[in-house]
Amino acid sequence: MPETRKPLVVAIDGPAAAGKGTLAKRLADHLGLPYLDTGLLYRAIGKLAQVAGLDLDDPQAATAVAERLAPADLGRPDLRGREAGELASRVAIHPGVRAALVAFQRDFAAGPAGAVLDGRDIGTVICPDADVKLYVTASAEVRARRRTDELLAKGRDVAFEAILDEVRARDARDSGRTEAPLRPADDAVVIDTSALTPDEVFARALAVVMARRAG
């Protein structure tokens, strides 16, 4: 009889620019699991609301956009940058926006093999029964330094101090909101990536996954 593996759900949360996207993709590839970048959902809502000239701080307007979100919206080319991240963080405070996205994320996680999802509230709200919960973090200075270096490498003219201010403002909004604030789940394994290479982060995360799988 071929061995049938139980589905595996891996929830990865943490602040902006901590390296969770890189880790989540790599883990998903390695484990052969589908991957959902949940930040993309909020980014698409923020961008669609902005393009439509809506007030992002208006809960009803933002919720209406969230309720009409279609898979094709996630393929927009303008969702990756800092501006879309900022728009996402603003619409993400509205309870109606978050509620509109719950079923989609849970359905994704409930696939036959399981899934890797990254975001801010995966281990606390979306998948509280996830098999593995990781909270990936790093100091604001380290995250801002990494982001500044990435942008400089792309030839962008950016100042570390400005990026650090952005990182801190995003942390404050994501952690300070009433609905599903960013925080580690009580049973999450915290990985502080400040002094680790991406390979070391991956090795630690994989060790946690394998230990859970083993029993």
Residues that bind ligand DC (CB under 6 A): 16, 38-39, 42-43, 85, 88-89, 92, 119-121, 170, 174
What are the start-end ranges of the E strands in 14-63? 35-37
> How far, CA to CA in Å, does 115 sit from each of 2, 17, 124?
21, 21, 16
How far apart, in Å, are the Cα atoms of 79 and each of 46, 73, 74, 84, 186? 9, 10, 8, 5, 31
Rg (C-alpha) for the chain, rounded Å, is 17
Minimal CA–CA distance to 24: which of 108, 135, 125?
A: 135
Listed residue (6, 3, 10, 4) closest to 28, CA to CA = 10
Cβ-based neighbour number of residue 93 at 10 Å = 20
Residue type, 63: T
> How many Å apart are CA 22 and CA 204, to the nearest integer?
14
